[in-house]
A and B are shown apart, each in its own frame.
Chain A
Amino acid sequence: MRRHPWLLTLLVLALALALPACGGGDDDEGGGGSTGGGTGIPEEFAAPTAPPEDAQPGGELTVIAAEDIDYMDPGPAYYQFTYMVTAAAHRTLLGWKPDDTTEPSPDLAAEEPEISDDGKTITFKLREGIRFSPPVDREVTSADVKYAIERGLLPGVANAYLPSYLGDVVGFKQALKQARENPTGGAPDIPGIQTPDDQTLVIELERPTAATVIQALSLPISAPVPEEYAKEFDAENPSTYGEHVVFTGPYMVENNAKGELVGYKPGREIRLVRNPNWDPETDYRPAYLDAITIREGFADTASASRRILNGSAQVNGDLTPPPNVIQEAAQSAEPGQLTATPSGGNRYIALNTQAPPFDDINVRKAVVAASDRVALRNTRGGELVGPVATHYIPPNFPGFEEAGGVEGTGADFLAKPEGDIELAKEYMRQAGYESGMCEGDCTVTLVGDGASPAKETTAVFEDALRALGFEPQTRGVARDIMYTRFCGNPKAAPNVCPSVGWLKDFNDPQSMLQPTFSGDQIQPSNNVNWPQLDVPEINEAIDEATLIADPEERAKAWGEIDKMITEQAAAVPYVWDNQVNIQSADVAGVINLFNANWDLAFTSLKAE
């Protein structure tokens, strides 16, 4: 999510699992999962999404983490691990119950938002009786949500996703410009966000993009911020509200009378305690635990994981157990201590569609067909790491089944997960190479992450290139450099970016496909459409699909787009990520499927 720890920590760690295939060889599982819901996760490791019926209130939980959250301020917060905290401490307009996968549930909102017939007006009714934590203490109004969003435009807060998802709100662009010209002059007014009364929030759109707006408002940006309290902090650049946040959720970071977060020591510890102003009657969260301490800095994931598995009242935060520990735990840990959850991310090898030889779709199809995606996936670990991907929308996600589910879109070059060299050669012939092999100048440049396991993945892919007569020239560099200097910079992009992948912002397929495959999204720098795919029909289909509000139609439309993208063979998708989470034997943890991590407001401790 925000900042590359999304790239760095989350995906690297999440996918660094080198699980041995559990029970037998890799024979038939290449096509994906065979158990429950098409996620490919064996039953015994399925994530619990509800607390046990006899869940006990009380007790303290410790979350073991490698790194810190990105921001305590819900405005810029944009990181999976941060969401673990914000979900327990803030109430956003809409929130994700543990088992929600397609749509968020009303949280700060009293009910589902109303969308006008033209799809351009969204009306939220706020719940009554929700109060800010001390020292603010007063009741939340719709103006607090409006302020929370507006301050997100300030350069000192710099929310990263608002321009992408709320850009169609009336007056948004003007407000953004105003904030940039006067970074310390207070939050700019967005005329399209109105508060007719304390309980009502109306959002006016220029185009009917309500579906994504609503989903985006399930993210921490819609957590209310009291302007009269926060404006002095927001007058600084960067804003120091992050050191003084007030909360509306069942938990709050320990603070003092002035509102300073004494319970947050960046990089070391976050201490969550009960929010005295939280009323359980207004909330779907049971909030069993009395207090939660997040301890950070556990850089050695193996020893940290063993500590959790052998210890008491602990769960993992941002860290993922390394393969050998998972292997041990799969055999020796108590049932339920080890879980796997689709994280809503994919990994692929991007082929640069704007330069020879991969500007020829048949050459691309040939390379995709020649790739052994099972072997590619296995460089990241075995079965638990996630199913072999056949397209881009991940499991447990709207549009996944519509795009063909685990079986795939029907593209012949992706039909065999272990690769199909004969088909590959056939495509090479169609591209004009009589022998089915590359002839002439066959140099192909690759720039990948030079660290394990990414470099092993790259090496497996090189074999596929060589099998077709290409001569791979690979540079392994640091991840940052790979993105900023090469893969994110179209002018310097190599033929292949073998170490890329994408994690959802929220459970809407638009957030998976638009930034990464729309030709309109190609940027001169910080580009994330790594294949630089620019197909007019796809661009148009994306534009249309962004305006569909009906969930079913939307899923269908994006499923179709996924098929169109897949058919372009712009990349070799090889895995849909799972996130592996672990807990101590005495924890009755609940996984939030949206965040693919522990839901602290549902987790409890088992009775002695």
Chain B
Amino acid sequence: MLRYIARRLLWAVALLFIVTAVIFVIFNVLPTADPAQLRAGRGASVEQIEAIRESLGLNDPIHVRFARYVEGVVTEFDLGRSIFQNNAPVRDIIFDRLPATIMLTVGAAILWLAVAIPVGVISAVRRRSLLDRTTMITTLTLISAPVFWLGLVALYLFAQDVGVIKIFPGIGAYSEADTFLGKVGAMILPWIVLASATAAIYARYIRSQMIEVMGEDYIRTARAKGAPEGVVVRRHGLRSALTPVVTLLGVDIGTLLAGNAILTETVFNIPGVGGELASAIGQSDYELIQGIVLFGAFFIVIFSLIVDVLYAYLDPRVRYS
């Protein structure tokens, strides 16, 4: 088990280095615009741009710049500075945005699991019942609904500021809330919006997993033992059906923390990593985009590591292979 983790850890480090290199090349060797020129602004003279380029070290050879970047990342987790936004350090911007993204992601994950597991299981157990069919149609609709659209619909229906039925806090409520409880309130609509599509995907996935598992021989064994149906479904069926869901969940949480909640955060103006990425892209703030992408890669690699280890814990067969 320890060797297994060590091997995965080593691989993760190697992967991160490769990812850093690739991202650096994308943003520095193949730039779509010149960061010095972006900083200089319109109408700046060629000399002004050149002075800024020199002072930012952009004239150094690429390997020197890469070494400097890696050194900064490794020693101080220095991801550079935003071209705009008051020259703020990218690291500080990300850390400032992370709590909101974590709260959004974790809350949504709890919500979508809380919905998807019972729905998926019941649909699988009561396959082809009216409930199953209704659920499957609903989930299909939710999966095809764009998050941005869903978010706006939710706002115009239920938000206190622009909604018809003024129940939940609306756009920007997260920033305005001073208390944790207030922030939770502000997160209700975003949680629902972010969780809905994923809940639908998970419900379908859990359903199909569950149908497959419930046809396994060991389920028949459990029944032959005389185990009550509830025990058979939960202890024997669900346990197996949920194990692959862990992989899915790890990837989804990793990518959401990496900024994949971009649309939800944008619609609800939640000051998270995704919203920041959207605005950085809108402003062509390359240094910031690069930092967020790299940071996101960290998250995804780390979460896939966690998933691997967790999987080994959950499925004893993996441990010994």
Q: List A residues at the B interface (Cβ < 8 Å).
A: 1-9, 64, 66-73, 78, 155-156, 158, 160-161, 163-164, 180, 183, 237-240, 242-243, 264-269, 295, 297-300, 302-304, 306-307, 310-311, 478, 480-481, 483-484, 515, 523-526, 528
Contact = CB atoms under 8 A, between A and B. Distances in A.
Contacts of A268: 96, 175, 271
B272 to A, nearest CB: 9
Contacts of A156: 55
B34 interface: yes
Contacts of B43: 160-161, 164, 515, 526, 528
Interface in B72-125: 81-88, 93, 96-97
The 4 closest A-B pairs by CB, nearest first: A2-B41, A155-B55, A160-B41, A480-B33
B129 interface: no
Contact of B45 (A2, A163, A295): A163
A155 B282 contact: no
Contacts of B84: 3, 5, 68, 70-71
30 contacts: A1-B42, A2-B41, A7-B42, A9-B282, A68-B85, A161-B43, A163-B45, A237-B55, A238-B81, A266-B82, A266-B85, A266-B88, A266-B93, A267-B88, A267-B93, A269-B175, A297-B172, A297-B175, A297-B269, A297-B279, A298-B171, A302-B152, A303-B267, A307-B161, A307-B170, A480-B33, A480-B284, A483-B33, A484-B33, A526-B44
A595 B48 CA distance: 26
Interface of B: 32-34, 37-46, 48-49, 51-52, 54-55, 81-88, 93, 96-97, 152, 155-156, 161-162, 170-172, 175-176, 266-267, 269-271, 275-276, 278-279, 282-284
A2 B87 CA distance: 14
Given A160-B42, A524-B46, A299 B266 contact: yes
A180 B40 contact: no
A243 B86 CA distance: 8
Nearest to B44: A160
A300 B33 contact: no
Contact of A297 (B44, B49, B96, B275): B275
Contacts of B49: 525-526
Given A6-B42, A163-B48, A68 B269 contact: no
Contacts of B41: 1-4, 6, 78, 160
A266 B42 contact: no
A481 B82 contact: no
Centre residue among B33, B81, B172, B278 by max chain A CB count within 10 A: B172
A349 B248 CA distance: 51
A573 B220 CA distance: 79
Contacts of A2: 41-42
Contacts of A158: 39-40, 48, 51-52
Contacts of A299: 266-267, 269, 275, 278-279, 282
B159 to A, nearest CB: 8
A64 B49 CA distance: 33
Contacts of B46: 523-526
A303 B171 contact: yes
B contacts with A: majority SS: helix
B79 to A, nearest CB: 14
A237 B57 CA distance: 11
A67 B42 contact: no
Nearest to B151: A300
A434 B267 CA distance: 57
Given A3-B41, A160-B40, A267-B271, A8 B55 contact: no
Contacts of A71: 84, 86-87
Nearest to A516: B43
A295 to B, nearest CB: 6
A300 B269 CA distance: 8
A156 B93 CA distance: 20
Contact of B269 (A72, A298, A302): A298
A528 B37 CA distance: 13
Contacts of B45: 163-164, 523, 526
A155 B52 contact: yes
Nearest to B51: A180
A155 B56 CA distance: 9
Given A266-B88, A266-B93, A3 B171 contact: no
Contacts of A265: 96, 271
B86 A307 contact: no
Given A266-B86, A297-B275, A484-B33, 16 more contacts: A4-B283, A4-B284, A71-B84, A155-B54, A160-B40, A160-B41, A163-B48, A180-B54, A180-B55, A237-B55, A265-B96, A297-B271, A303-B152, A303-B170, A480-B33, A481-B32
B37 A484 contact: yes
Contact of A73 (B37, B54, B86, B97): B86
A298 B172 contact: yes
Contacts of B54: 155, 180
A523 B82 CA distance: 27
B282 A67 contact: yes
Contacts of B171: 298, 300, 303-304, 307
B170 to A, nearest CB: 7
B32 A478 contact: yes
Contacts of B55: 155-156, 180, 183, 237
Contacts of B40: 158, 160, 526
Contacts of B44: 160, 526
The CB with the most chain A CB atoms within 10 A, among B38, B93, B283, is that of: B283
Contact of B282 (A8, A72, A523): A8
A443 B206 CA distance: 59
Contact of A68 (B51, B81, B86, B172): B86
Contact of B176 (A7, A295, A483): A295
Given A307-B162, A481-B33, A484-B33, A528 B51 contact: no
A302 B148 CA distance: 13
Nearest to B156: A303
- Find the residue from A160, A302, A524 having the highest chain B CB count within 10 A: A160
A300 B42 contact: no
B87 A267 contact: no
Given A160-B43, A300-B267, A3 B38 contact: yes
Nearest to B40: A160
Given A298-B171, A304-B171, A267 B279 contact: yes
A73 B87 CA distance: 10
Contacts of A66: 279
A24 B39 CA distance: 45
A291 to B, nearest CB: 14
A525 B40 CA distance: 12
Contacts of A180: 51, 54-55
A429 to B, nearest CB: 39
A339 to B, nearest CB: 21
Contacts of B275: 297, 299
Contact of B162 (A239, A269, A306, A515): A306
A264 B170 CA distance: 23
A5 B82 CA distance: 14
Contacts of B34: 484
A526 B284 CA distance: 16
A484 B172 CA distance: 35
Most A CB within 10 A of own CB, among B39, B41, B266, B269: B41
A61 to B, nearest CB: 14
Nearest to B39: A158
Contacts of A67: 279, 282-283
Among B45, B82, B84, B284, the one with the most A-chain Cβ atoms within 10 Å of its Cβ is B84
A66 B39 CA distance: 20
Contact of A311 (B33, B161, B269, B284): B161
B283 A8 contact: yes
Contacts of B170: 303, 307
Q: Among B37, B86, B97, B152, which residue has the most Cβ atoms of chain A within 10 A?
A: B86
B32 to A, nearest CB: 6
A264 B231 CA distance: 56
